[in-house]
Amino acid sequence: MTVTVVTYRKGGTREAVTAAARKGQAVWEKYGADRFMLNYVTSGPDPGQWGVVIMFASWEAFGKSMQGASSDPALYEFLSEMDAVSELVSRRILMSVDL
C-alpha cells in the first residue's frame, strides 16, 4: 500500500517552479520518498496548475520521512521558494487500495 501526497499550486513560471521543485525532490528523496514528480495540468477544470506528487511505500515510510524532513532547513527553503513563486491551492493525502 502506498501513500501519496498530491499538492496543487497555481502561478509561477516553468523555470521558477521547476527550480524550486528540484530542491523539494532532493529533500524528500533524502528522507525516503520513493518518487517525487512535478506535473503540469493540461486539461480538466484547472489547466495551468502545477501538481506536485510525492510517493511513499507505506504509512511507516511516510511518517519517518515527515519526521526527518521536518527538522531539515532545506525543507523550509523549498517550501518558502515554492510559496514565493506559486500559490498553494490544495493538498491531499491518498492511500492506495490493493485490488
User: What are 20-43's pLDDT values in tens digits?
Assistant: 999 999 999 999 999 999 999 999
The per-residue pLDDT for range 64-77, each reduced to its tens digit, is 999 999 999 999 99
% of residues, the chain, pLDDT over 70: 100
The type of residue at 46 is D
Query: How much is the pLDDT for 72?
Result: 96
So what's the pLDDT on residue 90? 97
Q: What pLDDT score was predicted for residue 59?
A: 97
Residue 59, Cβ neighbours under 10 Å: how many?
13
Residue 97 and residue 4 in contact, taking contact as beta carbons nearer than 8 Å: no
What is the reported pTM?
Answer: 0.93
Annotated domain spans of the chain = 32-87
